[in-house]
């Protein structure tokens, strides 16, 4: 009976060590996942800003061409 109690006690200690190790590994993975998530969100934000800047440049070019056309039409109308 004493040996069974001792074995159970040893098993409980081993299980506690295993649980502690698993918790440490889970915490390490959680930190890594948080870091990866942060990096991914920063990359997505950067990509979004780049796309927005690209659209703005296109819009500026379009607006510039429209203004040039309006000025050409105004010059022609004035000369007429």
- DSSP code of residue 48: H
**pLDDT tens-digit map of 22-46:** 999 898 899 889 999 999 999 999 9
pLDDT for position 27? 87
60/20 Cα distance (integer angstroms): 60
Please write the tens of the pLDDT for every residue from 48-65.
Answer: 999 999 999 999 999 999
Dihedral sign (CA 51, 53, 57, 60): positive
Report the pLDDT averaged over residues 66-76: 96
State the pLDDT confidence band at 4, using cuts at 50, 70 and 90.
Answer: confident
Residue 37 CA: distances (Å) to CA of 14, 23, 40, 45, 50: 34, 21, 5, 12, 20
What pTM was computed for the model? 0.53
Which alpha helices (H) appear in the chain, and where do they start and end? 2-79
């Amino acid at each position: 009976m004493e040996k069974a109690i001792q074995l159970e006690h040893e098993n409980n200690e081993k299980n506690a060590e295993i649980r502690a190790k698993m918790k440490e590994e889970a915490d390490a993975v959680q930190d890594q996942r948080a870091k990866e998530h942060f990096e991914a969100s920063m990359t997505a934000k950067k990509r979004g800003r780049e796309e927005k800047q690209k659209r703005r440049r296109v819009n500026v070019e379009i607006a510039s061409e429209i203004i040039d056309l309006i000025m050409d039409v105004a010059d022609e109308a004035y000369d007429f």
